Amino acid sequence: MDRPALAPVPKGFWEYLRSFGPGFVAVLTWLGAGDIVAAGVAGGNYGYALMWAMVVALLVRYLFVSLIARYQLCNPRGEGVLDGLARLHWLYAPFLFVAVLLWGHLSNCYMLAGIAEITRDLAGVGGSKWLWEIIWVAISLSLVFRPSYARFENLFKVFVGVLAVSLLGCALWVGVDPMGVVKGVFTFEIPRQHGPFSALLVAIGMVGAVGGSLVNLVYPYFLDQKGWRGPQYRRVQNYDFLVAVVVMIVFNLAVWTLGAELVHGKGGTISSVDDLASLLGGVLGQAGRLLFLLGVFAAIFTSIVGAGMGLGCLATHAWLRWRAGNDVPLPGDFRDHRIYRIVVLWILISPLVWMGQAEFVSLTILANSFSVVLIPALAGGLWCITARASFIGAEYCNRWWDNAVMAFLFVLALYGGFEAVKSILSQLKII
């Protein structure tokens, strides 16, 4: 199948607004139950004080992924980001193929279990969690296996509305301290340590983790499927992604507010989505609890299907580039290749083997070990291909501030990798 046709380049405000979409697909793919729990926990531990770290982390992610998009749209060869990484070193293609298979399996182990539990709560009926997992795998496969991107994008826009009603509605219902939010975002306060890690280390971790996220690399495939190819789409891509990241910041601040208002200074704890939902139920009643769970459902479902399609394209691209070498043209639309269908089946179906298993310690250690390699490798490789004129072209090569951001991110990635190694060795009782 040929690549999707080029989209019209928007010319006015309303055309720009109607054309937005890939950014929302990307940020809802990133936003999962783990992000919601992390924001709630941080709000419970630190109140409004550390909000600036989450905002900075998402803004750094905006800058980082914008560099990925710049390479995708503006490099003189018209190649994808993975092609550039593969020309930098041939190991990137097999490395990313294996990374997709491992990360896709491990992440969906948790997400499928979570969406099954939430669906059971929302439906108000009993039944086996195993049955709900199978139902959502079947629904996800129907959307991802041979997807229509336009239908996919419209679905994600609907879920943006669901998340807005749910998360913002719950935050406003509980009550927000506007001055607390302003102070938390703009004063860069470092509160006292709460838990095993200092607030500064928590802040560094929030910022440093964005560069090593594998799902950052799915965004170029959403751009391609939208029909945005070439530097003429750079402006609309920037606006689209900026609006989507601002929406993601607002959603995270809303959940952070819930933790700050419901837990901070009140002796409670949050360690799961259920904890936060129960606290909301105690304050707002069953209606508030169900409203919040509806938003968590939207976050998990969009992560499952968005990662299914995006990672399926990334793995197919990696496999074909690995097998063909750097100078061979590849098929136009990766979604039409049999490798795409095999990877999607693996990502969505293989986690079902863990149904009913509550212990994932060995899998977690394996995933953390892999992430130690993944974070510096991705941050360093993307820095190289966006900083060299021989890759991206002299006109779109990194400026000094781009290189400063990438250097900062790379140092944080190395530091985070070092801390992760210490943590893993400690879990294994080696140190």
In sequence order, the 6+-apart residues with CB closer than 8 A to the CB of 77 are 83
pLDDT at res. 274: 74
pLDDT at 357 exceeding the cut of 70: no
More confident of the two residues 358 and 264: 264
Average pLDDT (52-63) is 85
pLDDT at 360 exceeding the cut of 60: no
Instruction: Tell me if 69 sits within 8 A of 223, measured CB to CB.
Output: yes
What is the gyration radius of the CA atoms in the chain, in angstroms?
Answer: 21
pLDDT band at 362 (very low <50, low <70, confident <90, very high): very low
pLDDT at res. 369: 52
164 closest CA partner among 238, 278, 249, 270: 249
- pLDDT tens for each residue of 196-209: 556 666 676 666 55
- pLDDT tens for each residue of 118-175: 888 887 766 677 888 899 999 999 999 877 888 999 999 999 999 999 999 999 998 8
- pLDDT tens for each residue of 212-229: 578 889 999 999 999 999
Q: In this structure, what is the dihedral angle of CA atoms 179, 185, 189, 191, given to the nearest 10 degrees? A: 80
pLDDT band at 371 (very low <50, low <70, confident <90, very high): low
- Alpha carbon 226 to chain centroid distance? 19
Length of the chain: 431
Tell me the C-alpha to C-alpha distance, in Å, between residue 137 and each of 134, 235, 242, 292, 347.
Answer: 5, 37, 31, 23, 10
- pLDDT tens for each residue of 165-194: 999 999 999 888 899 999 988 888 878 766
Q: How far apart are CA 423 and CA 421, in angstroms?
A: 5
The share of the chain scoring above pLDDT 90, in percent, equals: 41
pLDDT at res. 359: 41
Question: Average pLDDT of the chain?
Answer: 84
Q: What are phi and psi of 16, to 5 degrees?
A: -60, -50
Q: How far apart are CA 62 and CA 381, in angstroms?
A: 18
Q: How far apart are CA 387 and CA 393, in angstroms?
A: 9
What domains sit in the chain, N to C, each tagged with a CATH number? 13-427 (1.20.1740.10)
- pLDDT tens for each residue of 70-83: 999 999 998 999 99
Provide the whole-model pTM. Answer: 0.89
Does residue 198 come out as left (phi exceeding 0), alpha (psi in the -120 to 50 range) or beta? beta
- Alpha carbon 378 to chain centroid distance? 15
Instruction: Tell me if 74 sits within 8 A of 234, measured CB to CB.
Output: yes
pLDDT band at 358 (very low <50, low <70, confident <90, very high): very low
pLDDT at res. 364: 44
pLDDT band at 1 (very low <50, low <70, confident <90, very high): low
